[in-house]
Structures are given as structure tokens and as C-alpha cells.
Chain A
Amino acid sequence: MAQTATSDRLLSESIKEILAEAAEKNPSRPIDAGEFLRSALNYGRRNAHNAAQDLISAVSKHVVPSSLEEF
């Protein structure tokens, strides 16, 4: 978690999981806002989390499936 360290220690488990996933994908560079969002949407595909799940559901309805698969 060295790359993803934040001074805010009070983070939900979902945030910690998303940060860990994003860090694993690109261990050599800092996680940026876009990568965090991308990982959060993927998290919403796999987990019952209100905001993340609603967001990925809305995005799925809004874009063509192939663009979401490449996202």
C-alpha cells in the first residue's frame, strides 16, 4: 500500500480494496483519479455496494457494451 498511502486512515473496506486493486495493476506509478474510478466501476460489477453498483449499472445502460469491456 506504499504507493497508495493516504493520510486519512478512516477508509471503508471498499476503498481499501479498490486502492489495492489499482496499485496491483500499475505498481510502478501512482494511482490517479481515472484509475481509481475504473477500479471502482469494476468493483461495482463484482460487489453489492449501492453507489458503485448503481454507477456501473447506469454506465452499462449508457454506453455500447464493447466500449465498457475495453474500459
Chain B
Amino acid sequence: MSAGLQSAFGYARVVHDRTGGRDHYLGLRHVLFALGVLGGETKAEVDAALAQLNGVNGRWIARTLVPSLQHSLEDGESWSEWEKIFTEKNVYTEDNARDSVLELDDAARFVINAAWALAERVRGPSAPASSFDALLFVSRLLPTGQSETDLLRQLTGFGDPHGHVGG
């Protein structure tokens, strides 16, 4: 095992110990997340492998995993601790979020921006929403089987006389 992969397994163990779960077995999701957020040799090895996949890099992998991590939570596993780790590892800094939005097509970019605006409205000006909040909001809405029109109405408030935005 290379030094880069050993580092990833080491950090995955740290993540598991912090977030908890039903047992002490290291999961693939922990290792995949570690591969996405670590720098140094790990990043060099991951980036080299992903070079042929245009636009996909370790950071993209980490961001993409967030909904899976949330859906895979086990009994006793702490989502708030995961969120702290996302912050520590800058999974959703504004720069990264902007990069993420730039990778999307126009329709997807509109939905993300609308969700961001909605999250800010829900939280209020004293606690501005992060891009992470907005993306999580979208990830919660998308699997519900709503039509695109319904989704956009919820995200933007257009067409709802009561201004109810859900969530």
C-alpha cells in the first residue's frame, strides 16, 4: 500500500472514530471521503488517476459523497460531527461551491442558486446559509419525485400566494 493510501486509511479511521456508528468497522464511505479531502501524496495519486475524467477530482468526489454519507448514517453516528469535518476540510467553502456551480449546466445552476437564496431566507440574515446548506436542501428535495415545476416553485416561492417555501 502506498504512503498516500495509508494516509487515507489513517484519516478514514479518525473520521470513523469521531462520527461513530454501530461498530468499529471502517466503511468504504470513510475511505472514499478521505481520498477526496486529503492533500499531499494522497491527492497526487488520486488526481493522477482521475486526470482522464474531465472535471472530476478529489474535491468533486468529496462533495458528491455528501448526500450518500447522510443517507447511510447508522444508529449512533453523528451527522453534526460529519458537518464539522466538512467545515475543517473545506468541502463546501464558497470557492469550492462556486467551482461546483460552474460544473453544472444552466438549469442546475439556477436550482442551486435558488436553493441558496431560499436557505438564506429560512435562516434569516443573522445566520446566513452556507452553500452546504443549500446543496443539502436540494439533495433532500430531489429524491421526492416532485416535478421540476413543483421543485422550482418550492425553491423560489413563485406561484405560491402564501409564500410558503417548505423545508
Interface residues of A (CB under 8 A from B): 3-6, 8, 10-12, 14-15, 18, 30-38, 40, 43, 49-52, 54-55, 58-59, 62-64, 67-68, 70-71
Instruction: Given the known inter-chain contacts A34-B49, A36-B35, A51-B68, please indicate yes or no for A8 contacting B4, CB distance below 8 A.
Output: no
Residue in B31, B45, B56 whose beta carbon sits within 8 Å of that of A62 in the complex:
B56
Decide: A63 and B53 in contact? CB cutoff 8 A.
yes
Decide: A63 and B56 in contact? CB cutoff 8 A.
yes
Chain B, residues 1-43, CB within 8 Å of chain A (1/0): the string is 1101110110001000000000111111101100100000110
Chain A CB within 8 A of B126 CB: no
Instruction: Given the known inter-chain contacts A31-B5, A37-B35, A55-B64, please indicate yes or no for A50 contacting B53, CB distance below 8 A.
Output: no
Q: How many residues of B contact A (CB 8 A)?
A: 41
Q: Please, which residues of chain A bring their CB within 8 A of the CB of B45?
A: 32-35
What is the distance, in angstroms, from B159's C-beta to the closest C-beta of chain A? 29
In addition to A33-B4, A33-B46, A36-B35, 19 A-B residue pairs with Cβ atoms within 8 Å of each other are: A5-B1, A8-B26, A10-B23, A11-B26, A15-B26, A15-B31, A31-B1, A32-B2, A32-B45, A33-B5, A34-B46, A51-B68, A52-B28, A54-B67, A54-B68, A55-B32, A55-B68, A63-B55, A67-B53
Q: How far is the CA of A26 from the CA of B48 in the complex (A)?
A: 16
Give the 7 A-B residue pairs with the shortest CB-CB distance, closest first. Answer: A34-B49, A51-B29, A33-B45, A32-B2, A33-B4, A54-B68, A32-B45
Residue in B27, B65, B71 whose beta carbon sits within 8 Å of that of A55 in the complex:
B65
Instruction: Given the known inter-chain contacts A14-B28, A33-B46, A49-B28, please indicate yes or no for A58 contacting B64, CB distance below 8 A.
Output: yes
Chain A CB within 8 A of B69 CB: yes
User: Which B residue sits closest to A4, measured CB to CB?
Assistant: B1
Decide: A40 and B54 in contact? CB cutoff 8 A.
no
Interface centre among B9, B23, B54, by most A CB within 10 Å? B9
Interface centre among A18, A50, A52, A70, by most B CB within 10 Å? A50
